[in-house]
Amino acid sequence: MNTLRKWFGPSKTEVWQRLCAETGGDYVDGGFWKGDKVQVAHGEWVITLDTYAVSTGKVTVVYTRMRAPYVNPDGFRFTIYRRGFFSEIAKWLGMQDVEVGHAEFDRDFVIKGTDEAKVRALFENARLRELIAAQPEIHLAVKDDEGWGGADFPADTDALSFHVGGIIKDVERLKLLFDLFAETLDQLCRIGSAYEAAPNLKF
């Protein structure tokens, strides 16, 4: 065990239990089939951290994800991720990329949204931009279901969702992700695109 720890560092379980101790969150052991998760309350919302796997038949890729369901009164949705080679090609082909008026942020990230004015109002929050920039990899979006083959959400409920390839075992990075979710949910409330009420959906 000590040799494995020396090679691979602490286990996900160790790191996530430490995360709970530092954030006041709950560590939920789901067993072999469901997997473990961390849940942290922020106001009426519950932010859930877990992992999931996608198999292509030959290769299985594990992702870290974070989700928080909330009541979305106006149906506003957005997606943000770091700019790269393929996103530049996609932009050239006409893909939406909303500029929010902050040069470095606009340079580094691609942003899509159902309402461009709301996108700009959302990312006018300097702390939110700072927390996003602190993530080396990020794909943050509002979703209205779990995707192909997954569950649909209640009509008035969406979920703030983050995912990235691999298992995050950096406590400080995970704490910043929880801060990012809390700040995003609060800002969505400020711009009228979330209600500070418990949604009828749990992860």
Q: Is the dihedral of CA 143, 144, 149, 152 positive or negative?
A: positive
From the number of C-beta atoms within 10 Å of its C-beta (0-12, 13-18, 19+), residue 76 rates as: buried
* DSSP letter, residue 195: B
CA 119 to chain centre: 17
Q: Are 67 and 40 in contact (CB under 8 A)?
A: no
In this predicted structure, what is the pLDDT of residue 56?
Answer: 80
- The secondary structure element, H or E, covering residue 128 is helix 126-133
From the number of C-beta atoms within 10 Å of its C-beta (0-12, 13-18, 19+), residue 17 rates as: middle
In this predicted structure, what is the pLDDT of residue 23?
Answer: 92
Q: What are phi and psi of 151, to 5 degrees?
A: -80, 150
In this predicted structure, what is the pLDDT of residue 169?
Answer: 93
In this predicted structure, what is the pLDDT of residue 86?
Answer: 55
**Separation of alpha carbons 17 and 25, rounded Å:** 9
pLDDT per residue as tens, the chain (203 positions): 555 455 556 889 999 999 999 999 999 987 777 789 999 999 999 999 999 988 888 888 999 999 999 999 999 999 999 987 555 555 655 567 899 999 999 999 999 999 999 999 999 999 999 999 999 999 999 998 776 656 678 888 999 999 999 999 999 999 999 999 999 999 999 999 999 988 988 88
CA 141 to chain centre: 7
pTM of the model: 0.88
